[in-house]
Amino acid sequence: MRTTDERTGSAASTPDDGPGWSPTRAAVGLGVLWGLAAMGTSATSVVLGPLSQDLGLSTAGSAWVLTSFALALAASTAVWGRVADSVGTRTPFLVGGVMLAVGAGLSSLAPSFELLVLGRLLQGLGAGAIPVLSTTTLSARYVGAERSVALGRSNSVVLVLTSLGPLLGGTIGVLVGWRGSVLLPVLALALLPVAYKLAPSRGTGARVDALGAGLVASAAAAVLVTVQTIGQPGPLTVVAAVLAVPLLVLVVLRVRRHPHGFAPLAVVREDVVVRAGVAAVLAVPLLVLVVLRVRRHPHGFVPLAVVREDVVVRAGVAAAAMPVVYFAGLVAVPLVLAGQGWDPMQNGLLLLPGALLGAAVSFNGARVVLRLGRRGTAVLGLALSTLGALVAATVGFSPWLAGLGFVGLSTGYALAQPSLVGSVAAAVPGEVRGAALGLFTLVFFTGSGLGSAVVGGLGDLLTLPGALALAALAPAVAVVVLLTARPSAAWGGRTGDA
């Protein structure tokens, strides 16, 4: 089975040895796998209260339980996508699935915060393979309207399972404790045979740019550490500090000689400022190195043709902004309610209606795309996310309004995410589609990590609802970015390709 590349009209890198499944059947199979992997966040978020009490964690420490998972997931997604271009998606699917299961098992057995974070990192590294390889497989197998159907329905399945995640995680948390909730993603192992059947077994055979992969992954990790350490230092801050030691020595010498100069001694003695500054300093040169690497190796790990494509860049900005607010809500609302005496099961029930409605919207999202185009659908989703976050930020005053706000967050996510994926898939040729979708998924999960990191880093300073309200700025900015985009067939339209 082969399909025609939507952008160039040439044969796409679609497997010819896979089953002839319909878009809906393939979407359901891969969506279930993706949804189970996503329970690493949704099922865990509602047990942060008892988990924190058991391990004696602060608000920032609680956020690290989610951020460490999102950190590893974001850092690994682009790597998985590029590897898939080279060797096909079949082997990476299996390796990632096993890493996910082992990490979930280690996390559930962890006797300390440090081992819990280690397990979550391993789980995130494996989970990073699932979304990018799922979207790559569906984008390779189907084009046009069939691709929109496949991506939309896959996303709806993910949202169904994500919506069940808080309820399942909360129920298991009440019955057997938070360790059982953390273990839930191990069920993804049962769906690996489906991925094996659908996934392309062959790639281009091109060599993977290992240095470029390392730079991209390190830059994504440094950005997340930067935000997370604003409030209180986290365990990964040590890594950033060690790498930045030479620069810190120069700063210390300068401050001692000029205690009232550009960097006042009273400021740099503040532990939080020092640690956040180290991570920020590390992030900037890493991003610069990524840019230089792309310019010197235009066909390397990050293809120049991908990052020069206006649709990819703008969709990437929106993809990073949207999960910031969604995951900020997923962390902030349960933590506030846990402080008011709500148990994990009650938290899960409050979030369930919004997530189920989001899943229903996503299942029929292809119809919205046909009417509004991909860009119009994404703009609508981002606007709903902004409004939903502002309403959810009232959680300190009314839990029920927070539940209503989560309806907006889930519905916005359901509309925007598949539309943005479809735009990126349509904007690039088949031979670099895995790389493009890998980078897209990287920025998406970097955004999700930023969302939980904003809550963990600023929750003590602004209050949890205040941090959530601040996160609402991200999708609002993304709306402007999309509305000012140049016309492109990849955005779709009322009469264009969808």
Mean pLDDT of the chain: 75
Task: Return the pLDDT at 496.
Answer: 37
pLDDT, tens digit (0-9, with 9 covering 90-100), for 319-367: 888 888 888 887 788 888 888 888 878 877 887 888 788 878 877 777 8
Closest CA to 346 of 354, 337, 355: 337
Task: Return the pLDDT at 56.
Answer: 86
Q: Map residue 435 onto helix, strand or coil.
A: helix
Of 296-300, 438-442, 484-488, which range is least confident?
A: 296-300
Task: Return the pLDDT at 367.
Answer: 80
Q: Is pLDDT above 70 for 376?
A: yes
Instruction: Select, from the ranges 76-85, 140-149, 241-250, 386-395, the one with the highest average predicted confidence (pLDDT).
Output: 386-395
The answer to whether residues 28 and 153 touch, using CB atoms and an 8 Å cutoff, is yes
Per the model's pLDDT, the better-predicted residue between 437 and 104 turns out to be 104
Gyration radius from the chain CA atoms: 21
Q: Is pLDDT above 60 for 243?
A: no
- Please state the rounded mean pLDDT for residues 261-268: 37
Helices 310-339 and 23-45 cross at an angle (nearest 10°) of: 40
Query: What global pTM score does this model have?
Result: 0.62
Angle at CA 88, nearest 5°, toward 12 and 153? 65
- Residue 483, phi then psi, degrees to nearest 5: -70, -25
Distance, CA of 435 to CA of 413 (rounded, Å) = 23
- Please state the rounded mean pLDDT for residues 229-243: 47
The answer to whether residues 365 and 306 touch, using CB atoms and an 8 Å cutoff, is no
CA 143 and chain centroid, separation: 24
The answer to whether residues 104 and 123 touch, using CB atoms and an 8 Å cutoff, is yes
- Please state the rounded mean pLDDT for residues 446-470: 78
Task: Tell me the C-alpha to C-alpha distance, in Å, between residue 385 and each of 5, 323, 391.
Answer: 32, 9, 10
Closest CA to 200 of 125, 116, 89: 89
The answer to whether residues 416 and 446 touch, using CB atoms and an 8 Å cutoff, is no
Q: Is pLDDT above 80 for 230?
A: no
- Please state the rounded mean pLDDT for residues 199-217: 63
The answer to whether residues 140 and 12 touch, using CB atoms and an 8 Å cutoff, is yes
